[in-house]
Each structure stands twice: as C-alpha cells, then as structure tokens.
C-alpha cells in the first residue's frame, strides 16, 4: 500500500524529533531514553534510529546513541554557504578589537539559538563555546531574538521556559520574562548580567533587514570588564555593528 502524504510527513517529523534529541544531549542515550524524550514508542524510535545510522546522522556506541558525523557535513555546508556569517565576520573582528570582548553571531532555530560565528577579544572568556552550540532563547543574547518573535511563538516560548532561575539566583516568572522581552523590543537591545553564566555580562542587538529578523549580535565578557559606565558605549557599538551587518545582507 502506498504511503499517504500525511503519513510521510508524520514520519519525517518523527525523524527530526529523534535527531533533535540526539543534538541536545551531551552523552550517549539508551533507546528507551531516546523514545521517551521524542515521545515515541520504543519500536518506532528504533526504526528511526536505524535509518539515521544508515544515513550517518546517528551512531551507536557501547553506552547508547549519539549524533552522527553526517551532521558535521551539514553544518559545514551551512557555514560555507550562509551569506549572513560571511558578511558578519569582518564586523565581528572589528567589534572584538574595539571592545576587547568576545563578539558572537547567533541565529534562531525553533525556540533556541545557535552560534554560527565568534571572534575572541583580547580578554577571552574562561569557558569555550563552540560553533554550533545550541543555547536558550530566553537567556542572554537569546532575548534579542525572542523579543521579535510573532506573538504566538513568543507565548509558546514563555510558557515553555518559565518559571526558571538565573545562575545569579533570581527567580523569573512568566510575567517577568514577558516584561523583559517587551523592554528589549522597546530599547532595541538586550543587556544581561549573570543570567546564563555567573559574572558574565553580555550586550546583544537584533540584526534586522526590513521586517526580517536575520540573527543577533552579541559582545560578552567578565562582569568586571564592561563596567556600568561602559554599558552605554557598548550598547551603541553593538547596535551600530548589527545595523552594519544588516546593511550588507542582500
């Protein structure tokens, strides 16, 4: 019997759900855990994993399943062909040089953000953040993307993320996050201090081309580097750099 279009799309959705589970984990997962996180029957998860393994998008280790090497090839294809990262690189280099902070470029993927370019400043961060790292939209530079989400998607994000606790210990409710995102949209930038990583400050701004949100630009450093007195200058430089990237995009 031929597979109906609806059934084929459902199978594709399930395959992407499993692939997303593997992308988000930092350690091998047992079959039962993959099925639980993807909300699938174990037998269905096994069939999908077998297909992903055959295509190289998943791999099986002694302790469980992990993402496969084909994902690296897909990421490389994006990085070498993506216009945004190409035009942004010289701007990131200049921003890192003038601020001495780490300059980063993020794009939105569903309700997350992904790092696609980064240039270290003279005062590098104490932690490494590799290209391709997936981070939350409701923290740090993610709010420069989340603030411009359509109302329905923003509401979904707020409902899924809240309540949560910042690394500083501050509790954030749905009302708090709603107000934060509204403020970011009104200001045109996001300023975060000890939200995702303790004693780290970030200033970020959206890269907008007309009505299209292309990504977010951010500078990040230890909280004792961009002092409160320097925040206004950093905000101005980051917003100007974001506008420069947008202007260079076709």
**Tens-digit pLDDT profile for residues 111-139:** 999 999 999 988 777 777 889 999 999 99
Residue 104: CB atoms within 10 A of its CB come to 30
Q: In this structure, what CATH number is given to the domain that contains residue 43? A: 1.10.10.10
**Tens-digit pLDDT profile for residues 145-178:** 999 999 999 999 999 999 999 999 999 999 999 9
Residues 197-218 have a mean pLDDT of 94
Q: Give yes or no: residues 140 and 169 share one domain.
A: yes
- Domain boundary residue among 48, 72, 96? 72
Give the whole-angstrom CA distance, residue 86 versus residue 99: 21
**Tens-digit pLDDT profile for residues 186-196:** 999 999 999 99
Residue 83: CB atoms within 10 A of its CB come to 11
User: Which residues, at least 6 apart from 164, have a Cβ–Cβ distance to it below 8 Å?
Assistant: 138, 171, 172
Tokens of 178: 């709603």
- Domain boundary residue among 54, 72, 90? 72
User: What confidence score (pLDDT) does residue 204 get?
Assistant: 97
Residues 13-20 have a mean pLDDT of 95
In this structure, is residue 77 part of a structural domain? no
Over the chain, what is the mean pLDDT? Answer: 93
Domain that holds residue 225: 82-248
Q: Which helix (H) or strand (E) holds 218?
A: strand 212-222
Q: Report the share of the chain in percent with pLDDT over 90.
A: 81
**Tens-digit pLDDT profile for residues 217-240:** 999 988 876 666 788 999 999 999
């Amino acid at each position: 019997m031929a597979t109906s279009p609806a059934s084929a799309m459902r199978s594709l959705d399930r395959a992407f759900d499993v692939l997303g589970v593997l992308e988000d984990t930092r350690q091998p997962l047992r079959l039962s855990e993959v099925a639980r996180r993807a909300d699938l029957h174990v037998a269905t998860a096994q069939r999908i994993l077998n297909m992903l393994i055959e295509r190289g998008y998943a791999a099986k280790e002694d302790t469980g399943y992990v993402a496969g090497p084909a994902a690296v090839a897909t990421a490389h294809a994006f990085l070498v062909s993506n216009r945004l990262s190409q035009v942004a690189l010289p701007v990131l280099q200049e921003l890192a040089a003038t601020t001495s902070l780490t300059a980063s470029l993020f794009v939105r993927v569903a309700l997350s953000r992904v790092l696609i370019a980064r240039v270290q400043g003279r005062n590098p961060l104490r932690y490494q953040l590799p290209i391709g790292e997936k981070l939350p939209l409701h923290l740090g530079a993610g709010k420069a993307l989340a603030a411009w989400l359509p109302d329905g998607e923003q509401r979904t994000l707020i409902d899924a993320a809240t309540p949560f606790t910042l690394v500083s210990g501050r509790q954030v409710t749905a009302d708090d996050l709603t107000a934060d995102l509204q403020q970011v949209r009104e200001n045109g930038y996001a300023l975060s201090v000890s939200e995702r990583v303790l004693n780290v400050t970030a200033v970020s701004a959206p890269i907008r081309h007309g009505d299209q949100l292309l990504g977010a630009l951010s500078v990040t450093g230890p909280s004792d580097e961009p002092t409160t007195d320097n925040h206004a200058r950093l905000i101005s430089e980051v917003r100007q750099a974001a506008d420069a990237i947008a202007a260079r995009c076709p």
